[in-house]
Amino acid sequence: MHTLFNGLDKSTRESRKAAHEICRLFNKSPSKGNLKRITGLFAHSGSGVIIEAGFHCDYGAQMQIGDRTFININCTVLDAPIREGAITIGNDCLIGPNVQLLAVSHAVNPTERLKKENFAAPITIGNNVWIGAGVIVLAGITIGDNAVVGAGSIVTKDVLTNTVVAGNPAVKINDV
């Protein structure tokens, strides 16, 4: 189920602009202080979280990241300012370079799309998950504990606990 929000109203644009500025500062200078500013956007950021330069999020306020999670370079997070567009990443996760977590989308119907509204659905990533380089995770997806998503995959359906998926669209190729 996707929930609508207006990404173009004034308060939403201002929130997004503020988050983008914090990301820009971090990416220019990925210091501990600038990392603290980024994790300060989040609803929760656990201990030992490492985020490499090139990180981008739209709002951050609904994001939760568990302990000891590593997010590699050039991660793009299209999150939403509403609870239904939350992105939750568990403990001990490895997020590869150039990963995209896309909890936001637009209507396929051209008449509906003219309203310029966004659809949002949560992304939930369990504990001890490895998401390989260049993976795209779409809105409304849950990835279970201990799962592995192979590099370059596009995740369009939930990933079960203790499985390895890969491809476009990602399909189960093995158990962990």
User: For tokens 């220019």, what's the residue?
Assistant: 28
Beta strands in the chain (DSSP E): 3-5, 44-45, 50-51, 56-57, 63-65, 70-71, 76-78, 87-89, 94-95, 100-102, 104-105, 118-120, 123-125, 130-131, 136-138, 142-143, 148-149, 154-155, 163-166, 171-175
106 classed as catalytic: yes
What residues are labeled active site?
106
